Amino acid sequence: MLKTQIQIIKDTLLIPLIFFTIEPVKAENRLILNNHNNSVIAQNNENLEEITDIIFNETETGLEITILTKSGKSLVPIILTENNNLIIELLEAKINYELNEINPTANITQITATTVNDSFVRMVITGKNNTIPQAEIIPTDNNLTFAIRETDATTAQNFPDISDLTITITGTRTPRRLLDSSSSITIIDSQQIERQLVQDIRDLVRYEPGVSVGRNANRFGNQDFNIRGIDGNRVLLQVDGIRVPDNYVGRGRDYFNLETIKRVEIIKGPASALYGSDAIGGVVSFITKDPQDYLDTFGNSFYTSGQVTYDTADESVSVTGVIAGEDEEGKLQFSTVATYSGGSALKTASGVQVNPQDITDYSITSKLVYNFDDNNSLKLTGEFLQGTTDTIILNEIGTTPFNVRPPNLVFFDRQNVTATDTRNRNRFSLDYNYENETGWLQNLNAKFYYQNAEIKEEKISEGIQQSFGRGRPSFIPVVRDEVNKFEQDVIGGEVQLQSDFMTGSASHRLVYGLEVFNTSTSRPRDNTLIFPDGSISKFVIGEEFPNKTFPDTDTLRLGLYVQDEIEIGQFSIIPGIRWDYFSLNANEDDDFRRINVDNFKVENRNDSAFSPKIGIVYKPTPELALYGQYARGFRSPPYDDANIGFTNFAFGYAVLPNANLKPETSNSFEIGIRGAYPSIDFSLAGFYNDYQDFIDNVSVGTRESDGFSLFQSQNIDSAEIYGVEAKAEYFFNPTREDGVSIIASLAWAEGNNDSGSGSVPLNSVNPFEAVLGLRYKAPEDRWGTDLIGTFVSAKNRSRIDGDDLFAPNGYFLLDLLGYYNFSKNASLNVGLFNLFNSEYYVWSDVRGLTNDDPNLKRFAPPGFNAAVNFVFRF
């Protein structure tokens, strides 16, 4: 392996440069404690700056060290820890003597300073009893002054391992401590996924108030993420930085194999300043494991593992195998993850018969990495997912209209309905990564990718066609064969760069980049009526088939972004801005013209938008952070809203295209506080989001010639959502190595739709939710258990827009989770869910259903259910 585990820690654990606070840690930890990925650009002097003197002044809290230079200039330091030593490296400097100060204070045993490799000065400050002093730079007009604060052994022993500090990458596109972030971010790692027996994206946010995933219980399963009341394609989903296909008319976006995931990061609120269109409601970023992640498990050059999972909720069995390795020099690395799962429809606590389903999923993810050296690597990724669901659609049995326009009334009495739905996503990507600790460029990542996805829906309906008109009624056996597809291919690339530098007493981490990609989207549809004599008809329910709901559309997007993480003393200021250009290009063909019989004009569309943001973090102490952020969100008009155009003669309506749609926008404000102390982690945030120009399909009148109703997508909605979120975990053992902890989190939000004649409730906002749990981890992490309760309040009828809509009652769920590590090679995870066997309904599942909906009971999630998995690793 080219990089040791220590180097990886050095590259990812970050703390602001100017207000250095080095917490007392265990002696074996070592990391760079700057905010610049272990690299700060030194001043551009042709010669080394000579240190003429180092002055020590003892203070009430410790020691003050002033470093005098021949020119009087202030040097650029890098501060890190090694064993029980505080290390200060002074770049592009030299000292013509060796400093060796013994016992300058009661808790500091030695201070040394020497010139290293004729390029920098290394100062080593050694604490007593395996403790590490804390260093703070005192801003001055010239020279360099440190305030060294002493720590005692008790403090050091009680502080948790600093390697446990949580780092986020998605929030700023660079590694940054979660404590130092200016937005709300949730991180779910692979260990949580395994120990919480997460099977899909709905399970993933099971214990995350404020985030949910709705489910279509009848056929299409998991839908999409809802973040703070915004859902659908207004939330950006990505895997390794590549966008996941859209959710089209409720077909869902569950395109993931969670067995390959290293971590999931969820940004709550608009993130268009870094990620552009579709991040108006937030971002869910899935980061998959690289070969190095598997090899680091045991530190060997070869790794293999297997996992078997069984879940009673849908009687599913899942099997995963992993293999990873590298050559002798660690230059060439590979990994392959293969997963198979099979199951049935989710059971319900209501006891009603659900639509029977047979579900199978296959996936393979392979990676090949070549490390040219410690600074340059190339990664090739192939990802292939396929899922098939066979459904007997009981809820569609019965009579449905075929034509309701007099004089001929036609109905279809469906007696048997079956469907086969397939979902595929294939991705190829090539990533080049460059890292350098010196120079003007610290990091460069270039990515090229191609992804194709398809959802294919095949449905067979058998029944009787009933015709009533001027003649005698007729009843004819008929088979309706429907084949609908949603196809979306994307090809694109991105270049992201990072440069670190100083301006006076401020350090900067500048991230900037270019993203360009083209998305091709198509919605082909086909219907065939098959009669007993073998004849067929392609005219079904007032439409001529095959057709396309909208013309094939290419959406070209170009984004330029820049962000600067500025560290000044105890403040972090993070401004950023992105410019996005988009172009919709419609490609009309015979299939689209077949449904666009009125020849509605479809026009190409292009526009651009700026999305700024600014975040501020203030840390009065190293453990406490106050933050605030403003961010603007943006979403370009979608292809189906801008270009749709068709007429349905059976039901007497037409949908018009609209080339004048404006982008949807949002303005988001958030303030909060976070703490990371030995015994407690906590966060509290309040937010207000204002959304403008939401696109919705509305009635625009009737057509005079035939009385057909006319509909069109227009910018009409404005909305506001505000709320409060909190999270905490208290550790009875401050070392966090073992023992009991209490976890708690909650989310409350309220939203209003301000369009039209007045303010009405926004139905997409979920009711209040709180999670409270008790956690235990045995010594050496041999075993552990979680007892977690989830409370969700009733959906207040006054907060529902619509008549006679179902409002679910509140509910309480209690889950018991546990794991046992037989050895470092084998572990068992068990989950018992809904211990009280409660019947309940999730608002995001039943939103829009009426009180008398005959299918309502099918939407009740499972009652008591259990899951177990066994994992072995070698």
pLDDT given at position 165: 55
pLDDT (0 to 100) of residue 83: 61
> 7 in helix, strand or coil?
helix
Mean pLDDT on 415-443: 93
Encoded tokens for 176: 């940054």
Query: Cα separation of 200 and 346, whole Å?
Result: 12
Q: Which residue has the higher pLDDT, 629 or 119?
A: 629
d(CA 179, CA 167): 8
Is residue 118 pLDDT above 90, yes or no?
Answer: no
Sign of the dihedral defined by the CA atoms of residues 367, 371, 375, 376, in that order:
negative
Mean pLDDT of 632-649: 85
pLDDT at 541: 86
- Report the half-sphere exposure of 811 (CA within 13 A, side-chain side): 18
pLDDT at 448 over 90: yes
pLDDT at 24: 33
- The DSSP result for 652-681, as a single string, is TEEEE--TTPPPEEEEEEEEEEEEE-SSEE
Q: Is the pLDDT of residue 1 over 70?
A: no
Mean pLDDT score of the chain, rounded to an integer? 87
- Give all domains of the chain, ordered by start, each with its CATH number: 49-151 (2.60.40.3500), 162-288 (2.170.130.10), 300-380 (no CATH)
pLDDT at 370: 97
Burial class (CB in 10 A: 0-12, 13-18, 19+), 407: exposed
Q: Name the least confident of 13-27, 537-551, 655-669.
A: 13-27
Q: Is the pLDDT of residue 493 over 90?
A: yes
Q: 35 near 17, Cβ under 8 Å?
A: yes
Between 331 and 61, name the one with better pLDDT.
331
Report DSSP letters for 589-647, one per residue: -HHHHHH-TT------EEEEEEEEEEEEEEEEETTEEEEEEEEEEEEPPPHHHHH--EE
Cα–Cα distance between 75 and 89 in angstroms, integer?
10
In this prediction the pTM is 0.82
How confident is the model at residue 769, as a pLDDT?
97
Averaged pLDDT for residues 348-376 = 93
3-state class of 803 per DSSP?
A: coil
Cα-to-chain-centroid distance, residue 654:
38
Specify the higher pLDDT residue, 849 or 46.
Answer: 849
What is the pLDDT at residue 48? 82
| In contact, 561 and 576? CB cutoff 8 Å | yes
Note the pLDDT of residue 283: 95
Look at residue 155 in the predicted model and tell me its pLDDT. 38
pLDDT over 70 at 432, yes or no: yes
According to the per-residue pLDDT averaged within each range, which of 12-16, 57-61, 495-499 is highest? 495-499
Per the model's pLDDT, the better-predicted residue between 23 and 104 turns out to be 104
Question: What number is the average pLDDT over the span 241-250?
Answer: 90
Q: For the CA atoms of 84, 90, 93, 96, what is the dihedral angle to 10 degrees?
A: -30
Average pLDDT for residues 670-689, to the nearest whole number? Answer: 96
Give the model confidence (pLDDT) of 296-324 as tens digits. 999 999 999 999 999 999 999 999 999 99
Give the pLDDT confidence score for residue 27 in this predicted structure.
31
Looking at the predicted structure, is the pLDDT value of residue 80 above 80? no
pLDDT band at 660 (very low <50, low <70, confident <90, very high): confident
**pLDDT exceeds 80 at position 519:** yes
pLDDT of 108 reads 84
For the segment 659-674, the average pLDDT, to the nearest whole number, is 92
More confident residue, 612 or 132: 612
Helix, strand, coil fractions of the chain, as percent rounded to 5: 10, 55, 35
Across 113-117, 572-576, 825-829, least confident range? 113-117
Q: What mean pLDDT is predicted for residues 701-707?
A: 81
Would the pLDDT of 670 be above 80?
yes
- What pLDDT score was predicted for residue 318? 96
pLDDT at 796: 92
**How many CB atoms neighbour CB 849 within 10 A?**
15
If you compute the radius of gyration of the chain from its CA atoms, what whole number of angstroms results? 30
**Is it the case that residue 16 has pLDDT exceeding 70?**
no
Angstrom distance (rounded) from CA 822 to CA 835: 26
Say if CB 123 and CB 78 are below 8 A apart.
no
- What is the Cα–Cα distance from 11 to 6, expressed in whole angstroms? 9
Question: Contact at 8 Å (CB) between 132 and 143?
Answer: no
pLDDT score of 151:
58
d(Cα 562, Cα 498) in Å, to the nearest integer?
10
- Cα angle 412, 416, 421 (rounded to 5 degrees) comes to 105
Q: What is the pLDDT of residue 655?
A: 87
How close are the terminal C-alpha atoms of the chain, in Å?
A: 18
Task: Judge whether residue 3 has pLDDT over 70.
Answer: no
- Report the percent of the chain where pLDDT is more than 90: 60
Dump pLDDT digits (tens) for 176-225: 989 999 999 999 999 999 999 999 999 999 999 999 999 988 888 898 99
The pLDDT, as a whole number, for residue 12 is 32
Q: Which residues contact 697 (CB under 8 A, 6 or more apart)?
A: 641, 655, 711, 712, 713
Torsion of CA 800, 802, 806, 811, to 10 degrees: 0
Q: Identify which of 520, 515, 540, 544 has the alpha carbon closest to the alpha carbon of residue 530.
A: 540
SS3 178: helix
d(CA 819, CA 831): 9
* Amino acid identity at 637: P
For residue 5, pLDDT over 70 is answered with: no
Amino acid identity of residue 689, one-letter, is N
Rounded distance between C-alpha atoms, residue 205 and residue 212, angstroms: 6
d(C-alpha 460, C-alpha 419), whole Å: 6
Task: Dump the DSSP string for 268-308.
Answer: ES--HHHH-TT-SSEEEEEEEPPHHHHHTTTT-SEEEEEEE
Q: Nearest 5 degrees, angle CA 517-CA 518-CA 521? A: 140
Predicted local distance difference test score (pLDDT) of residue 439: 84
pLDDT at 46 over 60: no
More confident site: 859 or 34: 859
Of 723 and 61, the structure prediction assigns the larger pLDDT to: 723
> 605, 657, 612: which is closest to 636 by C-alpha?
605
Tell me the average pLDDT across 152-172: 54
